[in-house]
Structure 1
Amino acid sequence: MADLKAVEICAGAGGQALGLELAGFDHALAVELDKNAVATLKENRAGWDVRCGDVADEEIWKPEEFKGVDLLAGGVPCPPFSIAGKQLGATDERDLFAWAVELAGRMQPRALMLENVRGLSMPRFAAYRQHVKDRLRDLGYWSDWRLLHANHFGVPQLRPRFVLVAMRSEEAQWFSFPEGTPTTETVGSTLADLMAAGDWRGAEAWAKGADDIAPTIVGGSKKHGGADLGPTRAKRAWLQLGVDGMGIADAPPTVDRPENFIPKLTTDMVKRLQGWGSSPEYEWKFVGRKTSVYRQVGNAFPPPVARAVGTAIADALNRRGGKRDLREVENEVLHDGLYLALKVAKNFETEADLIKLSGENIDSQTFERRMAALSRDFVIHERDTLLGREYRLGGFKGFTGQQDHDRHARFAEMRSRIS
Structure 2
Amino acid sequence: MAPMVSKEQTFKVVEICAGAGGQGLGLEKAGFEHELAVEIDSYACQTLALNRQSWKIAQGDVADRSVWKPEIYAGVDLLAGGVPCPPFSIAGKQLGAGDERDLFAWAVQTAVEIRPRALLLENVRGLSMPRFAAYRQHVLDSLADAGYVGQWRLLQASDFGVPQLRPRFVLVALRDKDAPYFAWPEAQGDPGTVGDALRGLMEENGWEHADEWAQLASGIAPTIVGGSKKHGGADLGPTRAKRAWADMFVDGLGIANEAPAMKDPHPEEKKPKLTVEMVKRLQGWDPADKWELAGRKTAQYRQVGNAFPPPMAEAVGRAIHDALSQKEEKTDLGLLKVEHDGVYRALREADGYVSFEALRNRVKPALDPAKLEQHVANLSKDFHIDFIYPAQGGVEIRLGSFRAFTGQDDHERHAAFATRSARSRIS
Please indicate the TM-score interval, normalised by the length of the shorter structure: over 0.9
Report 1:232-247 matches (<5 A): 232-247=239-254
Aligned-partner Cα distance in 2 for 1:13–1:373: 34
Q: Deviations over 1:200-256 (max 9, x none)?
A: 222111100111111010133112321111111111111111111111111111123
Q: Name the counterpart of 2:126.
A: 119
3-state SS of paired residue (1:181): coil
Contact preservation (8 Å) 1:219, 1:296 = no
Give yes or no for the alignment of 1:142 onto 2:149. yes
Quick check: 1:263 aligned with 2:298?
A: no
**Counterpart secondary structure, 2:50:** helix
TM-fit CA distance, 1:371: 1.6
Q: Distance in 1 between matches of 2:377 and 2:117?
A: 37
2:292 pairs, out of 268, 285, 288, with 285
Name 2:372's counterpart in structure 1. Answer: 367
Change in Cα spacing, 1:326 to 1:34, as seen in structure 2 (3 Å) is same
- Report SS of the residue matched to 2:66: coil
Q: Judge conservation of contact 1:223–1:418 (CA < 8 Å) in 2.
A: no
Deviation at residue 320 of structure 1 after TM alignment:
2.0
Q: What is the alpha-carbon distance in structure 2 between the residues aligned to residue 171 and residue 361 of structure 1?
A: 35
Q: Look up the equivalent residue of 1:254 and give its one-letter code.
A: A
- SS of residue paired to 2:43: helix
Q: Distance in 2 between matches of 1:331 and 1:102?
A: 19
Q: Which residue of 2 aligns with 1:416?
A: 424
Equivalence for 2:413: 407
Equivalent-residue separation in structure 1 for 2:301 and 2:337 (angstroms): 34
Greater CA deviation, 185-194 or 201-210? 201-210
Indicate the residue corresponding to 2:283 in structure 1: 274
Distance in structure 2 (CA, Å) of the matches to 1:203 and 1:116: 35
Q: Which residue of 2 aligns with 1:164?
A: 171
1:265-303 CA-to-partner distances (Å, cap 9, x unmatched) read 1100000000113x51x3310001111111100100000
Query: 3-state DSSP class of the match of 2:231?
Result: coil
**What is the letter of the counterpart of residue 131 of structure 1?**
H
Equivalent residue in structure 1 for 2:344, among 334, 339, 342: 339
Q: Within 5 A, what are the aligned runs for 1:167-316?
A: 167-259=174-266, 260=268, 261-277=270-286, 279-280=287-288, 282-316=289-323
Q: Which amino acid aligns with 1:255?
A: M
Separation in 2, partners of 1:204, 1:384:
71
Residue identity opposite 1:415 in structure 2: R
Task: Check the 8 A contact 1:31/1:55 in 2, yes or no.
Answer: yes
What amino acid is the match of 1:365? A
- Of 184-193 and 312-321, deviating more is 312-321
1:170, CA displacement in angstroms?
A: 1.2
Structure 2 CA distance for aligned equivalents of residues 335 and 175 of structure 1? 20
Does 258-267 or 28-37 show the bigger shift?
258-267
Partner secondary structure for residue 385 of structure 2: strand
1:71-82 superposed matches below 5 A: 71-82=78-89
DSSP-derived class of the 1:148 partner = strand
Deviation at 1:105, TM superposition (A): 1.8
8 A Cα contact 2:227 2:303, kept in partner: no
Equivalent residue, structure 2, for 1:106:
113
Following TM superposition, by how much is the alpha carbon of 1:348 offset from its aligned partner in structure 2, in angstroms? Answer: 1.9
Structure 1 spans left out of the alignment, 5+ residues: none
Which of 346-355 and 134-143 deviates more? 346-355
Deviation (angstroms), 1:319: 1.8
Query: Counterparts of 2:416 and 2:190 in 1: how far apart (Å)?
Result: 42
Q: Which residue of 2 aligns with 1:3?
A: 10
Task: Tell me, in whole angstroms, the C-alpha distance in 1 between the residues paired with 2:113 and 2:343.
Answer: 30
Describe the superposition over 1:61-98 as per-residue Cα deviations: whole angstroms up to 9, x where unpaired.
11111111111101111111111111110111111111
Provide the C-alpha distance between the structure 2 equivalents of 1:360 and 1:338, rounded to a whole number of angstroms. 10
Which residue of structure 2 aligns with residue 325 of structure 1?
332
Question: Which string of whole-angstrom CA distances, capped at 9 and with x for unpartnered residues, describes residues 126-162 of structure 1?
Answer: 1000000000011111111111111111100011111
Question: Partner of 1:358 in structure 2?
Answer: 363
CA distance in 2, matches of 1:13, 1:152: 22
Runs of 4+ in 1 over 4 A off after TM superposition: none
Match of 1:62 among 63, 69, 73: 69
Secondary structure, in 3 states, of the residue corresponding to 1:392? Answer: strand
Range that drifts further, 199-208 or 72-81: 199-208
Contact 2:227 2:304 (8 Å CA) reproduced: no
- One-letter amino acid of the structure 1 residue matched with residue 245 of structure 2: W
Q: Distance in 2 between matches of 1:318 and 1:364?
A: 48
SS class of match (1:253)? coil
Q: How many residue pairs get matched? A: 415
- 1:188: how far off? 0.5
Partner of 2:389: 384
- What do residues 304-323 of structure 1 show as CA deviations (whole Å, max 9, x unaligned)? 11011111111111122444
- Counterpart Cα distance in 2 of 1:116 and 1:342: 27
**Given that residues 145 and 331 in structure 1 are in contact (C-alpha distance below 8 angstroms), is that contact kept between their aligned partners in structure 2?**
no
Residue 183 of structure 2 contacts residue 330 of structure 2 at CA under 8 Å; is this kept in 1?
no
SS in 2 for 1:235: helix
CA positional deviation for 1:4:
1.2
